[in-house]
Structure 1
């Protein structure tokens, strides 16, 4: 009786478990391999909407029910388990139901073996995991797809790139990554708003998709940065074809919200495995090539070359060494005299920054100043120069040397700081020098780009006595009419005009500048005068303040003092 009671309890429990499984949309299955019999509970019919009794094996179920793209991997999962390559059976694949709906199913199972280790049967459960897959897909879209353009994002690009690299190396092919960056996108966001910026990104991504169709896969990997992954190509000409197509499309204006906007792009390309086998290197190389395109004036493309990497390495070294340059006393100042050729005497000096580094040797300002500006190091260096020059002016004043002023070059980064005006005034006060003994040199492009507040600051400095000169005048973008509104005292005619002074048009431009400056009561200095013939032409045109190698190269403080002794008088 006791045994009977136990059997009854077992039966009741089994019924309870079976009912729970079926309500959970889980089917039980068994496949007897030797007899070729396949059994599945009613829940499988509920999942598939097909009568599964016609199948005599799990293999035939997979071949008939799994969608074409999943058949091979599902069969491999089953064979690997039967062959003992995995200890537990698990396989996910998609099916099409009788109502033509796509569903995901998950098979799990184990096996029973005979004493001779022959597989007798497989058994397990199968469940509908479509809902879980939908949730996973939505989650994956957030993780691997860009919300604005709906393009695959940086995460997916890095995964795909690794897979493509593995294939390329295995099949001995060539591939490429093409970095595409929208030029001046930040200013669009700042002026027209982020909503408009997002709209541009959508439209631009659609344009790129048209260009890369049949060539590669497009990804959005950053704010305004896109990458095209080209798995293989026949020739470099094909890559050029893609880039030319993108640039040609950008020649037409984007018409968005009744606004016409012209966009340009800078493009960089690295080729693998030609340039490298390493993904990090290839990404860096394409990025370097893209920035080289920007340096060349934007709206172009550049293929990576080893020289770019060497240039990048040097830039990083300069940046790192520059951070310690002041502390290590590596910076110094030389002074180039400005001569009144009529009276043959020194009237002023330009203070010029120099850098001699232990690792790099002498580094040209042309090379290190842009890096200092890009990194913000220029602010500390600018303060150092200002203090150093003002101390020297104080020293010369106390020794009663005769000169009008000493000029220093000022970066636009410095001018745009809120405390620029006050810093100039305070440093002069601290060193007990009149403001009129200091001149600050600014490029004409910098002046034109300044806002009204900064223009007002410069006007106030002029009122207090500080001299302001436009350096390299004539090489920027201003018209002569700007001379009537910009806060300046002095114009410096650029060396490029002096080098070609024998050219009639150049002479006409110089004469025009001189006549207008005379009317506006501006001082004019000719830079880069190297030979007697240039001096003669300038003096005939009425320009007698000269700076250049004809009179003197930049000199150190000791030689400078020797020159000033000849100009000594009571100030």
Structure 2
């Protein structure tokens, strides 16, 4: 079907209008400038008398964009681009801002000079608004509208590139998961919004707050002269947090932990600074939360040491790096060994001798304690088997057991299978657990302990008096032994402390428990313990932990421990 030229023209004009596109032409040779009539509809600007494209830019472009818009045109006229393209803001009659995009191509005379440029003007305001919205989503948190981690990295990079002095203050809300679990995520979200408003009011012009993830935030500061100013800022934040937050009519108290690193003093690398602030935050958690910690080099050294221990522990059993020492438990009245405590030791080729109180918490955290614990039990059972084969009068060996081991569903079965492998009586084995572990087992895996008790395995409460045990727990389980912690023995010279120890001893005797005083190192401590009724002693006064061979010699001697 044929459409007449007049009809074609109408279709063309309607299309231009609905597409928000105006046409223009600048005839440089004749010094004329044409602009289609729908321009005023697109731009919503009454200005329509323009000498040329430069004049159009001068009269319509926003002041902040005029220079760059003219530079785009000059760049094209100088032959640096085959197509003219420029995007800038214009003001409407209603003093609103619109974005327009100008495109054009040139016609040239026989000498190759530009004689005419023609093109289009398009309203791209909606596109720019959408782009800005997308950019905002990319750089700002959707809940709090705070700048996010991506913008934080950009801002920190800019600060480092400009050799600015600043600090990262990394913080998170202590036990925030508990808030979400208790009150719900909607409640938690409202709390986060209020929290952010509070922090922003605290830092004012001293820094910028970013939400990194969840309840983790960073303050980036570059407007301070000394660490005293950072201390003051921390003080202000923690003082504000002493007051409750009001959320949905409820009052809730929260605390935060914070880690701080200063650049360029601590580092000038983004990844290192982030790691240092995170390590300082972790140190605040270790220190009991609700505090702040400045990064120090020893924190990094401690972290690296922890990582090294984690890695080396993975192959320690396989490489036969562990060994067990045995510390005698002595009845001072009968002058006899009534048992030994098996103490784990670790000698590593890379780390040397690693103290048990350093590597065991890490082994518990990583889960390696389960494999290590089985190795200890196997080693102890093997030792008992050898001693009994030589007819030594061995009464028991106690083994420290981690709560991580006890919570394993197959712990009791594995324990039984190991001592049965060596054909030894379970009555020769005593499990040492802490007071906290005892209480936890009541609500978790009490059947594990009961299974072993029925077999004849003894139970000892280690570090008694330092935890939070209940008399109910002490009377419910058939515990065999209570061990008074070394911290009490160290202070036995104090009259009140001595009275507390006597109460422990009297309680143990009334419940028919064996009681052992740990960490006895002096004759005076021994005499005071004897005076208040404690006769079984473990500590350096009689013997340090011994190898199996030396432990055997004690059993052969049976008496006279002064020479140990």
**TM-score, structure 2 normalization:** 0.87
Post-superposition offset of 1:533:
0.6
1:3 paired residue number: none
CA 1:11–1:249: 2 relative to 1, 3 Å: same
- How far residue 393 of structure 1 moved from its aligned partner, in angstroms, is 2.8
In the alignment, structure 1 residue 552 sits paired with structure 2 residue 527: no
Q: Is 1:539 matched with 2:534?
A: no
SS at match of 2:169: strand
Residue 346 (structure 1) aligned with residue 341 (structure 2): no
Which whole-Å deviations, capped at 9, do the CAs of 1:113-163 have from their partners, x for residues lacking one?
A: 778887766554332223333443444444433333332322332233223
The 8 Å contact of residues 427 and 456 in structure 2, kept in 1 or not, is answered as yes
In the alignment, which residue of structure 2 is the partner of 1:405? Answer: 396
Report the equivalent of 1:434.
425
Partner Cα distance (1:485, 1:91) in 2: 85
Mean CA deviation greater in 460-469 or 61-70 = 61-70
Is 2:409 the partner of 1:418?
A: yes
* 8 Å CA contact retained: 2:406, 2:448: no
Unaligned runs of 5+ in 2: 560-564
Q: 1:149 to 1:532 in 2, by over 3 A?
A: same
In structure 1, distance between residues paired with 2:246 and 2:334: 62
Q: Which residue of the other structure, out of 272, 275, 278, is the alignment partner of 2:263?
A: 272
Equivalent residues of 2:324, 2:345 under 8 A apart: yes
- Does 1:225 pair with 2:220? no
Cα separation, 1, equivalents of 2:319 and 2:371: 14
Distance 2:264 2:111 in 1: 52
Distance 2:73 2:221 in 1: 35
Query: Does 1:526 pair with 2:517?
Result: yes
> Alpha-carbon deviation of 1:218?
1.5
Does structure 1 residue 48 correspond to structure 2 residue 39? no
Correspondence 1:157-196 to 2 at 5 A: 157-167=152-162, 169=163, 173-196=164-187
Q: How does 1:282-321 map to 2 (within 5 A)?
A: 282-321=273-312
Q: Match for residue 496 of structure 2?
A: 505
Q: Is the 8 A contact 2:486 2:520 kept in 1?
A: yes
Q: How many residues align?
A: 557
By how many angstroms is 1:344 displaced? 1.4
1:336 alignment partner in structure 2: 327
Following superposition, the deviation at residue 405 of structure 1 comes to 2.1
Alpha-carbon displacement from aligned partner over 1:272-309 (angstroms, at most 9, x marks no partner): 22221211111111111111111222111111122222
Between stretches 256-265 and 496-505, larger displacement belongs to 256-265
Partner SS state of residue 292, structure 1: helix
Q: Is the 8 A contact 2:45 2:91 kept in 1?
A: no
Gap change, CA 1:261 and 1:34, over 3 Å in 2: farther
CA, structure 1 residues 90+355, in 2 after alignment: closer, same or farther (shift >3 Å)? farther
Task: Name the SS of the counterpart of 1:150 in structure 2.
Answer: coil
Q: Find the partner of 1:379 among 370, 379, 391.
A: 370
Give the CA RMSD over aligned residues. Answer: 3.3
| Contact 2:43–2:123 (8 Å) recurs in 1 | no
Distance 2:295 2:56 in 1: 53
